[in-house]
Amino acid sequence: MKRFEVVQADSVEDCLRALAAHGREAKLLAGGTDLLPQLKNGMLAPRYMVDLSRVTRLRTLDVHDGLRVGAAVTARELELNQAVQTRYPALAESGALVGSVQVRNLATVGGNLCNAAPSADMAPPLLALEAEAVIAGPRGERRVPLSAFFADVRRTVLAPDELLLELVIPAPAPRSGGRYLRHTPRRELDIAVVGVASQLSLSDGICARARIALAAVAPIPLRATAAEQALEGRPLTAELIEEAAGLAAEAARPISDQRGSAEFRRHLVRVLTRRTLTSALARARS
């Protein structure tokens, strides 16, 4: 590993100053669970690491009307927060699936999204919850819907002089339910071969809104919009859920690799979409 200098940031302004001064030679360091392996295997060799751990603005976890999740909130905090468990269960479930307890105590939501792996577990529930990314840069703050945040494998719309501040999530409508499930060959310490989040809300027994998001089946985490549209405005029968699961499988653009063939992944999207929709429906009704 090449030597680097650590810049200790105490505020968002410190981070922005360091990024402006060191440009592409600097990397932001949150929990380091993605970054340090990348340094060790030589994928990256930054000259400066800007440590975010003392930037309190990034640690907000505020459940009021909606939810604000600071970029440096950890997977473990999402997993254990009771308000998140109750109001945004799919997000708490995704936090609970990341790595081991030791990894979850370090792994942040900002790091998970900014690392932009197609398999990032926290991306699908946040997409299904219609989160907006709040981004800080030298020209002030801007907001980007999370559906427009991922540009390609390991690439986001963040400029080199910008950082992710927080995710803003609207309050769930009454009679809403969500679920996140993933498939991994091992029960723990494995990355998703496929991940699916579903979020539903009901009105008079009809599906008022449906959101379905998929991970590990395309270069970026993505929404299955045709499947969502098939559900909205209709009563959620088992047949309709099966139809939507088929449409979600069609939306997937998986590759074949050593972890699973494209055909297997498409099959998993169908199965996990059916399961997450059925479970989200039961939660919305309870």
Ligand X SMILES: Cc1cc2nc3c(=O)[nH]c(=O)nc-3n(C[C@H](O)[C@H](O)[C@H](O)COP(=O)(O)OP(=O)(O)OC[C@H]3O[C@@H](n4cnc5c(N)ncnc54)[C@H](O)[C@@H]3O)c2cc1C
Q: Which stretch binds ligand X (CB under 6 A): 113-121, 141-149, 173-181, 256-264?
A: 113-121
Cα-based angle 178, 181, 185 (whole degrees, multiple of 5):
175
Q: How far is the CB of 264 from ligand X (least distance, A)?
A: 19
27 in Cβ contact with 46 (< 8 Å): yes
Tell whether residue 107 is a contact of ligand X (CB under 6 A). yes
For ligand X, which residue of 7, 19, 35, 251 counts as binding (CB under 6 A)?
A: 35
- Rg of the Cα trace of the chain? 19
Residue 135 phi, psi (nearest 5):
-115, 135
Give me the half-sphere count of Cα atoms (radius 13 Å) on the Cβ side of residue 149.
Answer: 32
Closest CB to ligand X among residues 44, 255: 44
Q: Is 114 an interacting residue with respect to ligand X (CB under 6 A)?
A: yes
Q: What minimum distance in Å lies between the beta carbon of 267 and ligand X?
A: 21
Residue closer to ligand X by CB (options 126, 224) is 126
Q: Which is nearer to ligand X, 27 or 266 (CB)?
A: 27
Could you say which of 81, 112, 147, 198 contacts ligand X (CB under 6 A)? 112
Task: Tell me if 103 contacts ligand X by CB under 6 A.
Answer: yes
β-strand partners of 145: 132
Which helix (H) or strand (E) is 91 found in, with range? helix 89-97
Contact 272, 196 (CB under 8 A): yes
Backbone φ and ψ for 79, nearest 5 degrees, come out as -60, -40
Q: Which of 27, 183, 223, 259 binds ligand X (CB under 6 A)?
A: 27
Please spell the DSSP secondary structure of 209-273, one letter per residue.
EEEEEEESSSSS-EE-HHHHHHHTTSB--HHHHHHHHHHHHHH--PPPBTTB-HHHHHHHHHHHH
Should residue 136 be labelled a site residue for ligand X when binding is judged by CB under 6 A?
Answer: no
Least distance (Å) between residue 66 CB and ligand X: 20
Nearer to ligand X, 161 or 228 (CB): 161
Work out whether 214 is an interface residue with ligand X (CB under 6 A).
Answer: no
What residue ranges bind ligand X (CB under 6 A)?
Answer: 27-35, 37, 71, 75, 97-99, 103, 106-108, 110-112, 114-115, 120-121, 158, 163-164, 189, 191
